[in-house]
Chain A
Amino acid sequence: DTAVSQTPKYLVTQMGNDKSIKCEQNLGHDTMYWYKQDSKKFLKIMFSYNNKELIINETVPNRFSPKSPDKAHLNLHINSLELGDSAVYFCASSLNRGWDEQFFGPGTRLTVL
């Protein structure tokens, strides 16, 4: 069974569109994260939620809005997509905020044309 899953795996869209990426974990973890990995493979934290509460909110354009309906799900909605948003987005989870290990989802490759 997949521990951290993301949909879709690939997303190709036009500039200006709005899109969402979904993430689910079945590990019973309290804390979930969104990371962005750019073309140079640099992995950078965007958001973190602990038990549906936002605890990390890095300097990310407010076109990006995370939503956590429950502690097993953390979705990412992106408005008015720009070319620079093209990247791989990884969802991850950890047992709690004082974790030793994060488990990553397979990633969503977003291409904005």
Chain B
Amino acid sequence: GQNIDQPTEMTATEGAIVQINCTYQTSGFNGLFWYQQHAGEAPTFLSYNVLDGLEEKGRFSSFLSRSKGYSYLLLKELQMKDSASYLCAVRSDPGAGSYQLTFGKGTKLSVIP
């Protein structure tokens, strides 16, 4: 089975840096994704890691350590519009190429002035 853990809520100040952690236990690991979801809207893709290390995309970076079952999403130069839920999701392959994405419960980030 899958077990994904991330903090429920975080608060950070505009202009600052925030790190959202995600730990997971899974079989057939095949990649880790981060999605952003604003209130009342659909999730949108932010990043994807399949190998260990850091992936950078503008103000957002995501890190993965497969041996530790650990990832984080780093948001730099926070803006008010970054207030949203951030969903960690693990892709697994139980076999026959039927990849499956399992989401964590999300971290609600509030950015304050």
Binding site for B on A (CB under 8 A): 40-45, 48, 55-56, 90, 97-107
CB pair A97–B102 under 8 Å, yes or no, is no
CB pair B42–A106 under 8 Å, yes or no, is yes
| 7 residue pairs, one from A and one from B, having the closest CB atoms | A104-B42, A43-B103, A101-B45, A55-B98, A104-B43, A100-B48, A42-B105
CB pair B98–A44 under 8 Å, yes or no, is no
Most chain A beta-carbon neighbours within 10 Å: one of B33, B102, B103, B105: B103
Chain A neighbourhood of B33, CB < 8 A? 101
With the chains together, A100 CA to B99 CA distance in Å? 11
With the chains together, A105 CA to B85 CA distance in Å? 17
Chain A neighbourhood of B41, CB < 8 A? 106-107
Contact string against A for B residues 67-108, beta-carbon threshold 8 Å, 1 for contact and 0 otherwise: 000000000000000000101000000000111111101100
B19 within 8 A of A: no
Q: How far is the CB of B27 from chain A (nearest CB, A)?
A: 16
B3 within 8 A of A: no
Q: How far is the CB of B5 from chain A (nearest CB, A)?
A: 13
Chain B neighbourhood of A44, CB < 8 A? 103
Give the tally of cross-chain contacts (CB within 8 A). Answer: 45
With the chains together, A106 CA to B43 CA distance in Å? 9
Chain B neighbourhood of A99, CB < 8 A? 99
Binding site for A on B (CB under 8 A): 31, 33, 37, 41-45, 48, 85, 87, 97-103, 105-106
Chain B neighbourhood of A42, CB < 8 A? 103, 105-106
CB pair B48–A101 under 8 Å, yes or no, is yes
Chain B neighbourhood of A45, CB < 8 A? 100-102
Chain B neighbourhood of A97, CB < 8 A? 97-99
With the chains together, A102 CA to B103 CA distance in Å? 13
CB pair B102–A102 under 8 Å, yes or no, is no
Chain B neighbourhood of A105, CB < 8 A? 42
Partner of A102, one of B45, B98, B105: B45
Chain B neighbourhood of A48, CB < 8 A? 98, 100
Given the known interface contacts A45-B100, A90-B43, A97-B99, the answer about A40 and B48 at a Cβ–Cβ threshold of 8 Å is: no
Chain A neighbourhood of B100, CB < 8 A? 45, 48, 56
